[in-house]
Structure 1
Amino acid sequence: MSGSQQQFQRILQQITSKIQSNEAEKAISIIEALPTAIKQHPNVQHLQALAFKVLGQLPASLLLFKQLLSQYPNQAEFQNNAGNVYKDLGNTKLALEHYLKALNLKSDYLDAFKNAMLVHIEEADYESARQMLNAYSMVFSKHPVTQKFEADVLLGQKQYESAANLYELIVQQNPSYTVAKLGLAAALRLSERLSEAKMLLLDVLNEQASANAHYQFGLCLFEDGNYEKAEHAFEQAILLKPSYRAAHNQLNEMLWQLNSMTKFGSSYQRVLQTEPDLSQLREDYVDMLINAEHYDLAVEQIEIGLNSTPSQSGLLAAKSMLLANQQNYEEAYELAKQVWTERQSFRDGIEFIKLAIKMEDYQAASKIIDKLKAEYPENQLVQAYHATCLKLTDPNAYQEFIMLSHSIKAFELPVPEGYDCLEMFLSDLKALLSSMHTTNTRPLQQTLRKGTQTPGRLLERGEPLLNKLKWAYESTVSKYISALPDDDQHPFLRRKSKHFKITGSWSVKLDNLGFHVNHVHPDGWISSACYIAVPDNLSESEGCIRFGQSPLELGDKDTPDLSITPQAGQLVLFPSFMWHGTLPYHSEQMRLTAPFDVVPIAEKYND
């Protein structure tokens, strides 16, 4: 190697060292001081793009990567790192395209494989994740990350026991593989094995400082109702990793539910004051402010972010939502269209569909619905908006789609063994479930108003009484499924199977003036409303559950198709795509429910 080449390598190593030691500004300074010919070398430009990324200057980083890839499209590392910038910008679709290009150029590129798998898992596209694992199983067969991803897919598909078993096997084979230990802790927590999860997380924290371990420990403590220690755990996670989005989200969600308004949002504010270029963290904060109906603060944060980076799609999407909230639908629609064109994420598509329907542009809405149905065939929110478009454009097709006579059924809960009557069973359930409502207000991401919701998976807590309730649910769901007609073409009926599992379960306690906003359950197949205790004065005008009306406030064009006045001991089952919500009621008596979702286990139903 010549002296000039050695000098050039030393320069590259010096720049790389600064980036790796979190001194990206010094790396930029070194690059800017170089002669023009050296600055234009692709390896130097690559490092400069990485430095901009570390500094949060994502548009500048992306511009450099675009220039590099226009000249050197066959450089796998450039493709992979460009994907990382797109991911940080929230454009997971383009990120995935670049990861796959990197893998096509270099089939054993582990980082590109890991990045692509993470996108599939984070997007809940488990079918694509499974296909990718199969395609690269031989290439990465000796690397433990392959098995870890297999467990991650099982976890995402809510096969918690299978995921836990696989994580345990990985940890036995690789005792120092901390990421697998953390995956095991998540599987244990989601299986309501909180004590085991906490012990494992404490073992990890005794070995090393881990933001993820603190975060998961906080989740366990929150489910246990140990809110003070949970807050400390989330704060420790953020201290170790200020950009930790999930930790910020869970901390502030908990503070909201505890009505700790003096602390609510402060973690976001603290970090963004010192690191204002953390664009995704600001977007999360804006989302939380909108959900909390703190619209003025949301506008303020959007303006700060857009002043720094005018093209930030996530903040433009939030601005569109606020414009729609102000009934400025035309401007909101144009902005939503722009964001959808740029990113084409699931969420962007849904927001565009909502505004297209409001603007009576049903053709545009249907076009995006068709695209999302193809990409997310089991997502019930997409099916719900499909139903709304049919309702507004083809009432006969709508009636065929919702199948009102078959799809919504009310049952009386069966009385489990050990009880002489339903009233005694409900009385015990009311006492137990009431004791589990220890927060002060609703979860931000949920649709209830003036009430509380239990965390975790209610029916997996190991309580004997809840096991009896689960039996009652499963017995009733079997009857409901057996009465459904067969239809391989209908998106609900084609999933019909006598084998099913309850994937989510929780309890909701509504208080005086409480209600549910019209909504669906996106990840379900069959959903439910089970009434444990109801006020005496419920009627079709107070506290009833109503089906078929979207949350878009479309007036007489979109009225409910069916109302049911709840009774204690009643279990109502319906397709998860069916819009449902409740009317407020006036009473000091609580309205206590224990809903759940069901998904089929793929086997065709046969009598």
Structure 2
Amino acid sequence: MNANQLYQSLVSAFQQGNYSQVLNTVDNIQNQIGSIYEFEFLFGLCALKSNLLGSACKHLQNALDQKPNDPQAIFHLALTLNQSGQLLNAQKVAAGLDNTSKANLQLKIIIAQKICDFDEALRYIDCLLKLAPKDEFALRSKATIYRQFGQPQSAQSCADYLTTSSVANTLLKSGIAFDQSDFATAEKELLKGLNEFSDTPVLHETLNQLYWNTDNKQAFMSSFNNVTSNSKELLFAKVKSLILSKQWQQAEEQLSGLKHTFKNDPTFIHLEAVVLSQNNNWSKASPLFEQAALLAPNNQRFLIDLAICHIMDNDFNKAEHFLDKAHRIDPSNQELWAYLGFVWQQTNQQKFDWLYGKGDLIDAQLLATPNGYGSLDAYLADLKDYLKSIHISSNTPLDQSVRNGTQTTGNLIYYQHPLIKKFKHVMEQRVQNYINKLPNDPNHPTRIKLGRDFCFSGSWSVLLKDQGHHSNHVHPMGWISGPTYIDIPDQIKPSDPEMSGWVKFGETSLAHPLNKVSKSICPEPGVSVLFPSFMWHGTFPISGQNAERLTISLDVEPLA
């Protein structure tokens, strides 16, 4: 068989979905005929289809070396880099694609949005809309960016052109209505979507979050209760919503009714264990968590929860064993480092000190005064008024750490309001200064994720009221996190022995007898506190009938 015949046979295997058959020939072909564009490109496609992203990048780069300007090789290499999280490299490669193709522009838009380069994304969106004025991907992307900018009316003007019935369009339109405090329209859009996509869990979850956030508790869970579908995903979503709202008895009853059908399903078993653990019935939860982890050994959530069971049983060696397994699946997950830190605090002081440093990883600094202001206090006074105007929810978020307070939606730091732009500008330098002081150890979790740049992957304002606080938590998919204090009530002061409203570190979310606070900081107006996302943190409740504590919190993600 000559090279051409061999190539055609591999193309046939590719077309039939036999990707492993093609990839099994790589070594023989490269040894016999070397690196040839057609073969390398085919290998790259097969690796991409098989989710072997590292191998796909290698073969597609080899193909591009053979044909440096080949648009197909450029496109698929950029696509692979995007999927593997190498976003800056993906952006650089994608820049070699022209803007005359919908597929090229869509890929450029996706990458730009992921790295939060929204101005670039808008430029590509406008190019796409010139090619296809009614393209719904472009319209939806533009509306989403305007939501990020805190411009719901501009988002609405884009969404008005979306005519297709889809889950994505439903979620976007309801979200825009929510941003404008039009809760009735937000509900109407979600109910209309559920009429057509009744088995879609995210629509039910979003509707019930709307009811919860607007204090419409009577309607909460009603959409789930009105559905007769036997969809596993939908039934499990109902249980998860009951768990989030701490309705343990109802969750247990729902699971009891599903046991006959799903008794061997790892997700069902895990949900059973979660309900038991939330009732502190760890002895019954433990074997269920173990059974779920055995059935789904690559599920990191199951392994972490199994480790928690052993922590609660004071079997720290077993806990570390399962956390090590979770680490092998995804070492960047901050939650596993948080629990490792607690385990090491009890068993290995040297490892604990390595993880937490000498206290310098928690960094509190006064924010720089933004340009155009004579003092930081004057800026904070203006920022306070603006932030209070955008706290539109009336209830504590269902799925966040806030207790007796409200939280804004969207990615606040990218709002186009002049006051937020000034905040973003000073925070960029603040974060960069913090990054420059991170441990110089490639194995430390703060260095595992270190990239050439960073973006603000999440940002929101929290308004805590009397007895308001944050429950102890970490940011599992974060890297660097922290609040900036905008307005502080008189009740929060350094001399307070109760530490009302103070931020605390080290105490986990577990009701464990060895739990303890390792450090507390008294908030001050204008102070920004940054720390690794794996650090346990929460707040002591604020005391005072009219007390309000206003912050902007954020998550920072590296860009590779």
CA distance in 2, matches of 1:590, 1:266: 33
In the other structure, the counterpart of 1:534 is: 488
The aligned runs of 1:115-264 (5 Å cut-off) are: 126-127=84-85, 148=106, 151-152=109-110, 155=113, 158=116, 160-163=118-121, 165-166=123-124, 169=127, 172-173=130-131, 178-179=136-137, 181-205=139-163, 208-264=164-220
In the other structure, the counterpart of 1:434 is: 388
In the other structure, the counterpart of 2:27 is: none
- Residue 445 of structure 1 aligns to a residue whose secondary structure is coil
- Residue 220 of structure 2 aligns to a residue whose secondary structure is coil
In the other structure, the counterpart of 2:44 is: none
Q: 2:412 aligns with which of 451, 455, 458?
A: 458
Compared CA separation, residues 543 and 336, structure 1 to 2 (3 A): same
- The aligned amino acid for 1:428 is D
Say whether the 8 Å CA contact 2:115–2:455 is kept in structure 1.
Answer: no
Q: 1:360 aligns with which of 308, 314, 320?
A: 314
CA distance in 2, matches of 1:530, 1:317: 37
Say whether the 8 Å CA contact 1:544–1:566 is kept in structure 2.
Answer: yes
Return the TM-score normalized by structure 1. 0.72
Say whether the 8 Å CA contact 1:503–1:599 is kept in structure 2.
Answer: yes
**Which 10-residue stretch deviates more, 447-456 or 216-225?**
216-225
Tell me by how many angstroms 1:160 deviates: 4.6
Q: Deviations over 1:521-568 (max 9, x none)?
A: 223222112111222223353221111222112223x31221111122
Compared CA separation, residues 144 and 317, structure 1 to 2 (3 A): farther
CA distance in 1, matches of 2:121, 2:340: 34
Q: Deviations over 1:344-390 (max 9, x none)?
A: 32332332222232223334433332333333232222222222222
CA distance in 1, matches of 2:534, 2:425: 24
Unmatched segments (≥5 aa) in structure 1: 1-73, 80-96, 102-119, 133-141, 603-607
Say whether the 8 Å CA contact 1:290–1:298 is kept in structure 2.
Answer: yes
In the other structure, the counterpart of 1:579 is: 536
CA distance in 2, matches of 1:504, 1:533: 21
**Which 10-residue stretch deviates more, 223-232 or 377-386?**
377-386
- Residue 573 of structure 1 aligns to a residue whose secondary structure is strand
Say whether the 8 Å CA contact 2:307–2:319 is kept in structure 1.
Answer: yes
Q: 1:546 aligns with which of 496, 504, 511?
A: 504
**Which 10-residue stretch deviates more, 349-358 or 495-504?**
495-504
Tell me by how many angstroms 1:188 deviates: 4.5
- Residue 594 of structure 1 aligns to a residue whose secondary structure is strand
Say whether the 8 Å CA contact 2:335–2:534 is kept in structure 1.
Answer: yes
Say whether the 8 Å CA contact 2:148–2:412 is kept in structure 1.
Answer: no
Q: 2:374 aligns with which of 394, 399, 420?
A: 420
- Residue 198 of structure 1 aligns to a residue whose secondary structure is helix
Q: Paired residues, what number?
A: 494
Compared CA separation, residues 160 and 372, structure 1 to 2 (3 A): farther
- The aligned amino acid for 1:559 is K
- The aligned amino acid for 1:189 is R
- The aligned amino acid for 1:355 is C
Tell me by how many angstroms 1:511 deviates: 0.9
Compared CA separation, residues 427 and 130, structure 1 to 2 (3 A): closer
Unmatched segments (≥5 aa) in structure 2: 1-13, 20-46, 52-79, 91-99
Matched, 1:443 2:397: yes
CA distance in 2, matches of 1:238, 1:218: 12
In the other structure, the counterpart of 1:278 is: 231
Matched, 1:590 2:544: no
Compared CA separation, residues 537 and 125, structure 1 to 2 (3 A): farther
In the other structure, the counterpart of 1:565 is: 522
Compared CA separation, residues 235 and 468, structure 1 to 2 (3 A): same
Tell me by how many angstroms 1:576 deviates: 1.3
- The aligned amino acid for 1:574 is F
**Which 10-residue stretch deviates more, 185-194 or 342-351?**
185-194
Tell me by how many angstroms 1:265 deviates: 0.8
Q: Deviations over 1:427-474 (max 9, x none)?
A: 222221112112111111101111110111112221111222222322
Tell me by how many angstroms 1:210 deviates: 3.2
- Residue 578 of structure 1 aligns to a residue whose secondary structure is coil
Compared CA separation, residues 284 and 417, structure 1 to 2 (3 A): same
- Residue 596 of structure 1 aligns to a residue whose secondary structure is strand
- Residue 445 of structure 2 aligns to a residue whose secondary structure is coil
Identity over aligned residues, as a percent?
27
In the other structure, the counterpart of 1:56 is: none
Return the TM-score normalized by structure 2. 0.77
CA distance in 1, matches of 2:87, 2:419: 38
Compared CA separation, residues 161 and 507, structure 1 to 2 (3 A): same
CA distance in 2, matches of 1:491, 1:211: 36
Say whether the 8 Å CA contact 1:211–1:240 is kept in structure 2.
Answer: no
- Residue 514 of structure 1 aligns to a residue whose secondary structure is strand
Q: Deviations over 1:276-304 (max 9, x none)?
A: x1111121121111111112221222122
CA distance in 2, matches of 1:145, 1:347: 35
Q: Point out the structure with the larger helix share.
A: 1
**Which 10-residue stretch deviates more, 586-595 or 184-193?**
184-193
- Residue 546 of structure 1 aligns to a residue whose secondary structure is strand
Q: Deviations over 1:484-515 (max 9, x none)?
A: 44222322145556843322111101111111
Compared CA separation, residues 318 and 169, structure 1 to 2 (3 A): farther
The aligned runs of 1:25-40 (5 Å cut-off) are: none
CA distance in 1, matches of 2:451, 2:415: 26
Say whether the 8 Å CA contact 1:540–1:565 is kept in structure 2.
Answer: no
Tell me by how many angstroms 1:149 deviates: 6.2
